[in-house]
Copies of this chain bind each other. A is one copy, B any other.
Amino acid sequence: MNGAQSLIKTLANCGVDMCFANPGTSEMHFVAALDSVPEMRAVLCLFEGVVTGAADGYGRVAGKPAATLLHLGPGLANGLANLHNARRANTPIVNIVGDHATYHLQYDALLTSDIVGFARPVSAWICESKSAQTVAGDAARAVQAARSAPGGVATLILPADTAWNEAERPAQMLRDIGPAPVSSQAVDDIARLLGNGKKTTFLLRGSALHGAGLEAAGRVQAKTGARLLCDTFAPHSEVGAGRVPVERIPYFAEQIVDFLKGIEQIVLVGAKPPVSFFAYPGKPSWCAPQDCQFSHLAHPHEDAAGALAALADALNAPAQSSIRVPLQLGGLPKGPLNAMSAGQIIAELTPDDAIFAEEAATSGMPLLVTLSTARPHTHLPLTGGSIGQGLPLAVGAALAAPERKVICPHGDGGAAYTMQALWSMAREELDITVVIYANRSYAILNIELQRVGATGAGAKALSMLDLHNPEMNWVKIAEGLGVEASRATTCEEFASQYAAAMQQKGPRLIEVMI
């Protein structure tokens, strides 16, 4: 077996059986090796930002890493923005980057670049394999590193000769470095803290926002009456009717300050203290009240779900909370489409257990309000803030959970960055409904231009925020990339098209004119 075959087999041995790929010449042996390992699925993407965003979506939903396959430094570079997002979401990804053969690097051929340099800002772990015989071991360590709590991007750089030279054998999976348990002492300390009479909230992240972790948080809530909060862009949360209610921190600095007013202590469960997304002249970066006390029930690398369960036990909380989000749907609106009415329609018509890969930006604010009491669903937002993630994220989520409907509500400005993801949706026949909010604007920037106090903006400045000239036609773009598409200009049209999309399997795009 050659190094490439040892790689693919090792990945499969370690439970990595999904590879998002945009390979080139230096990765041809890895491509050729795909057929030797039947359990490895390879998904071709037309652009590397789709590769890495899909790996993020897959990792968040599957709870285990996918692999990427990228072509040299520039191929990695094209995937960096969504790796930044994945880093912020603590998504496990085995990020495989081909390189020139070891002996070819000295010639500085045109595609040579500093791959480690490109990888460093987004990677929790980096390794360059030096020979075909170490590839299997390096790959096993890469999977272990990606899976290490709280999860991260493990970049494995593979020179072409490590693929084509002879290897010995594939490696087996290494011991998993799961989240560290929180000591009973630390749990007891928090339990005591809750008796100090201060107005307390819990800020949840990671495993505290879904499954057993969220249920355990609900027990604490039921016993103590403490509010449960999550970050604006918490990477993976379970939301909607029947779920434990968690309040989402708003986006803008002054809203956060208002929202947190009066809170005396915040218990962090896998989260960090809330800060402003951007700085604004005269507005605070630190958004908690000045005298608010912070303590950690669980740091990000620790077992948040286990710590919450232990805390609930220590508090003698009930075995299950009866505080649940009620199902509240507002009915189908009529008449003009806007972000609010579109959000109501989505909330009304989306079936149980959907996954939202959401990058609706300004249109997302009313959408998230309506979704908060809609049918139970999973919410995956743009955690790292680098726009152009939603469509790829939907690709990965749909491949991780093929039996679930994936909804991708997306601003038109952001969707333009990685529109190539539509092609992979068609190619893999993924059950995704994309909703493009077509406001023909970087709408958030029109708000931010005012908020940062930038004066003197004239026609030239405002044109930098405006997408009217020319108007993108998302129906044609989608059809050009192989995805069935339609346009809705009224609530009635959108409701009818969206309802039809919910009944069908496969990719579909609806351009909502707001």
Q: Give the interface of A toward B (CB within 8 A).
A: 4-5, 21, 23-26, 28-29, 31-36, 42, 44, 46-47, 49, 73-75, 77-78, 80-81, 84-85, 88, 100-101, 103-104, 107-111, 113-114, 117-118, 120-122, 160-161, 164, 233, 272, 275-279, 281, 285-286, 383-386, 388, 413, 416-417, 419-420, 423, 426-427, 444-445, 448-449, 452-461, 463-465, 467, 469-482
Whether A111 touches B453, Cβ cut-off 8 Å, given contacts A104-B276, A417-B78, A423-B470, is no
| Residue in B closest to A507 when the chains form the complex, CB atoms | B470
Closest partner residue, chain B, to A272 (CB atom): B108
A111 to B471, CA, bound (A): 29
- Shortest Cβ distance from residue A168 to the other chain B in the assembled complex, whole angstroms: 18
| With A279-B160, A464-B34, A477-B476: A78-B103 Cβ-Cβ less than 8 Å | no
A100 and B104 alpha carbons, distance in the complex (Å): 39
Q: Please, how many angstroms separate the alpha-carbon atoms of A461 and B8 in the complex? A: 12
A42 to B416, CA, bound (A): 19
Inter-chain pairs besides A77-B386, A160-B278, 16 sampled, C-beta below 8 Å? A24-B445, A25-B448, A31-B449, A44-B463, A46-B416, A46-B467, A74-B80, A74-B81, A80-B118, A88-B110, A104-B276, A107-B285, A113-B122, A117-B121, A416-B423, A427-B469
CA–CA, A459 to B36, complex, Å? Answer: 11
**Closest partner residue, chain B, to A278 (CB atom):** B25
> Which of A75, A77, A85, A456 has the most chain B CB atoms inside 10 A of its CB?
A77
Other-chain contact of A385, B44, B110, B458 (Cβ < 8 Å): B110
Question: Assuming the A-B contacts A104-B279, A481-B472, A482-B471, are A454 and B29 also in contact, with contact meaning beta carbons closer than 8 angstroms in the complex?
Answer: yes
Q: A120's contact among B42, B114, B420, B449, by CB below 8 Å, is which?
A: B114
Chain B: CB-nearest residue to A444? B25
Bound form: Cα–Cα A279–B160 in Å: 8
23 A-B contact pairs sorted by A residue (CB < 8 Å): A25-B445, A25-B452, A28-B452, A28-B454, A29-B452, A31-B464, A32-B456, A35-B458, A42-B464, A74-B81, A88-B110, A107-B285, A108-B272, A108-B275, A110-B383, A110-B384, A111-B384, A113-B122, A417-B420, A427-B470, A472-B482, A475-B480, A480-B480
A101 touches B461 (CB 8 A): no
Residues of B close to A42: CB separation below 8 A: 460, 463-464
Inter-subunit contact B464/A23 (CB<8 Å): yes
Q: Which residue of B lies closest to A100 (CB)?
A: B279
**Which residues of B sit under 8 angstroms from A81, Cβ to Cβ?**
74-75, 77-78
A285 touches B103 (CB 8 A): yes
The answer to whether A385 and B74 touch across the interface, beta carbons within 8 angstroms, is yes
* Contact A386 B111, beta carbon cutoff 8 Å: yes
How many copies, total? 2
Closest 9 CB pairs of A and B: A470-B482, A35-B458, A476-B480, A74-B386, A477-B480, A77-B80, A32-B454, A104-B279, A101-B279
Q: Could you tell me if A77 and B73 are in contact, using CB atoms closer than 8 angstroms?
A: no
Chain B residues contacting A117 (CB-CB under 8 Å) are 117, 120-121
Contact residues in B for A417 (Cβ distance below 8 Å): 46-47, 78, 420
Whether A461 lies near B103 (C-beta < 8 A) is no
Give the residue of B101, B164, B384 whose beta carbon is less than 8 angstroms from that of A453.
B164
Chain B's closest residue to A455 (CB) is B32
Q: How far is the CA of A87 from the CA of B483 in the complex (A)?
A: 37
Choose from B32, B84, B114 the contact partner of A74 (Cβ within 8 Å).
B84
- Which of B78, B114, B278 meets A100, CB within 8 Å? B278
Measured between beta carbons, the chain B residues less than 8 angstroms from A445 are 23-25, 28
Within the assembled complex, what's the spacing in Å between the Cα atoms of A281 and B101? 9
A104 to B455, CA, bound (A): 22
Q: A74-B384, A121-B73 are in contact. Are A35 and B459 (CB under 8 A)?
A: yes
Contact assessment for A423 and B472 in the assembled complex, using a CB-CB cutoff below 8 Å: yes
Q: Is the CB of A461 within 8 A of B32?
A: yes
Would you call A104 and B285 a contact (CB within 8 A)? yes
Chain B residues near A26 (CB, 8 Å)? 278-279
* A109 cross-chain contacts in B, Cβ below 8 A: 275-278, 285
Q: Is the CB of A278 within 8 A of B104?
A: yes
Which one of A28, A32, A100 has the greatest number of beta carbons of chain B within 10 Å? A28
In the assembled complex, which residues on chain B have CB atoms less than 8 Å from the CB atom of A24?
445
Please give me the residue from chain B that is nearest to A5 by CB atom: B456
Cβ contact of A164, chosen from B103, B104, B111, B281, cutoff 8 A: B281
- Asked if A473 meets B464 with Cβ closer than 8 Å, knowing A118-B121, A386-B111, A452-B164, the reply is no
The listed residue (B34, B78, B122, B481) touching A461 by CB distance below 8 A is B34
